[in-house]
Amino acid sequence: MTDIHTGHGFETVAIHAGNTADPRTGAVVPPIYQVSTYKQDGVGGLREGYEYSRSGNPTRTALETNLAALEGGRRAVAFASGLAAEDCLLRTLLAPGDHVVIPNDAYGGTFRLFAKVVSRWGVEWSVADTSDPAAVRASITERTRLIWVETPSNPLLGITDIAALAEVARSAGVRLVVDNTFASPYLQQPLALGADIVVHSMTKYMGGHSDVVGGALVVADTALGDELAYHQNAMGAVAGPFDSWLVLRGIKTLPVRMDRHGENASRVADMLTRHPRVTRVLYPGLPEHPGHETAAKQMKGFGGMVSFQVEGGEEAAVRVCDRARVFTLGESLGGVESLIEHPGRMTHASVSGSALEVPADLVRLSVGIESADDLMADLKQALD
Ligand code: PLP
């Protein structure tokens, strides 16, 4: 998979795109421009276009340039969180009366944004199984403006065929949004498969070290990119310089981290399929996973997220989370350290009672890059 702009391999782009040496000192890493405003050379005389750091900041520009290249897009805009990016996207593209098709499995906070926030402004939504293009097509109304997809999805690791849905979206004249947080652009590039907008929680694999919260939107259409950048400034939830710098640093090792996340996750998933107390393992790398073939077609690897269901219901699932030692009990994902959580009571409490409700006996793992043997031993002792 090569970057469509530069012709260089992904690993090269990850390290170099946007990371031009500082012209004054030659520093090989972009400085943290911890600054709010810029001296003007006479009224309106802006140096390199910088005026005020909500509108633009050189460290954020470096990150946005990098993100656009990684996703094979033309424009990226970076935000203070993944949800800030989503909010900006929805308020840029939707008006009262518009309708969005949302997936039947998604991050709880994304669902909450639709169900509790934008719905108050007259935006309507309905839920579809996005792994079934016919079901999505049937949910489209004349007011539909967006189809929203997460693949792999959070927390059930469902797989949507991006190219098939892009076709559904194109024939209906609506835009396809893909939340690429679980895959990262190293494993999957939705724009090349026909999606219109890529969403990221950079808090996860892009940052990769559980030390920053951030979000991004990436598009191939420059007019849409300009519109989003206008609203990014108008709404104001921008990524700060230090956060931008941390994500930029994390991205340099994204390919090697993702390879190891995938290797470890595949060993953990395989071990879980053979454990007598595990009733179901959800990992797109397993041949029996319903989305396995589609994932193999559109992804370079299967990622680091694994979910599983246990014998004994909710209490048993909570007990496994409590007993893990190498896996840290906590929300979030995508860092080098392994995390374990109970989606029903934690990340997905906000979908309780909705069409997106998650099984009570479900445990979600963010498999880190520690020794796979230690991770498997930890899960065995937690389950036994
Ligand atoms: N999208 C997905 C798939 C997520 O898992 C999350 C957070 O967990 C978000 C979006 C929201 O991102 P953030 O927490 O950075 O606001």
Q: What is the pLDDT of residue 4?
A: 44
Which pTM was predicted?
Answer: 0.97
Per the annotation, the verdict on 204 as an active-site residue is yes
pLDDT(168) > 70: yes
pLDDT tens digits, residue range 217-273?
Answer: 999 999 999 999 999 999 999 999 999 999 999 999 999 999 999 999 999 999 999
Q: What is the pLDDT of residue 240?
A: 98
Q: What is the pLDDT of residue 371?
A: 98
Per annotation, catalytic residue among 98, 105, 161, 179: 179
Mean pLDDT within 93-107: 97
Q: Which residues pair with 175 in a beta bridge?
A: 146
Phi, psi angle pair for 219, to nearest 5° = -135, 160
Q: What is the pLDDT of residue 137?
A: 98
Q: What is the pLDDT of residue 6?
A: 62
Ligand 1 closest atom vs CA 214: 15
* Residue whose CA lies nearest to ligand 1 atom number 8: 332
pLDDT(291) > 70: yes
Q: How far apart are CA 368 and CA 248, in angstroms?
A: 20
The topology (CATH level 3) of 254-383 is: Aspartate Aminotransferase, domain 1 (3.90.1150)
Per annotation, catalytic residue among 33, 107, 186, 283: 107
Alpha helix locations (H) across the chain?
Answer: 10-16, 58-70, 82-93, 108-112, 133-139, 162-172, 184-187, 222-235, 241-252, 254-273, 292-298, 313-323, 372-383
Q: Cα–chain-centroid distance for residue 111?
A: 14
Mean pLDDT within 357-377: 98
Sheet holding 305-310, edge to edge: 278-282, 305-310, 362-366, 339-341, 328-329
* Residue whose CA lies nearest to ligand 1 atom number 14: 82
Question: What's the 364 CA to ligand 1 centre distance in angstroms?
Answer: 15
Cβ of 201 less than 6 Å from ligand 1:
yes
Ligand 1 test: best mutation among 154, 157, 201, 333, most atoms within 8 Å of CB?
A: 201
Mean pLDDT within 74-96: 98
Strands 278-282 and 305-310: antiparallel
Phi, psi angle pair for 354, to nearest 5° = -105, 180
Per the annotation, the verdict on 384 as an active-site residue is no
* Residue whose CA lies nearest to ligand 1 atom number 12: 82
Cβ of 92 less than 6 Å from ligand 1:
no
Q: What is the pLDDT of residue 120?
A: 97
Q: What is the pLDDT of residue 5?
A: 53
The band of 21, judged by pLDDT with boundaries at 50, 70 and 90, is: confident
Using only C-alpha atoms, the chain has a radius of gyration, in whole angstroms, of 21
Per the annotation, the verdict on 283 as an active-site residue is no
Mean pLDDT within 66-74: 98
Average pLDDT, the chain: 96
Task: List the chain domain ranges.
Answer: 10-251, 254-383
The topology (CATH level 3) of 10-251 is: Aspartate Aminotransferase; domain 2 (3.40.640)
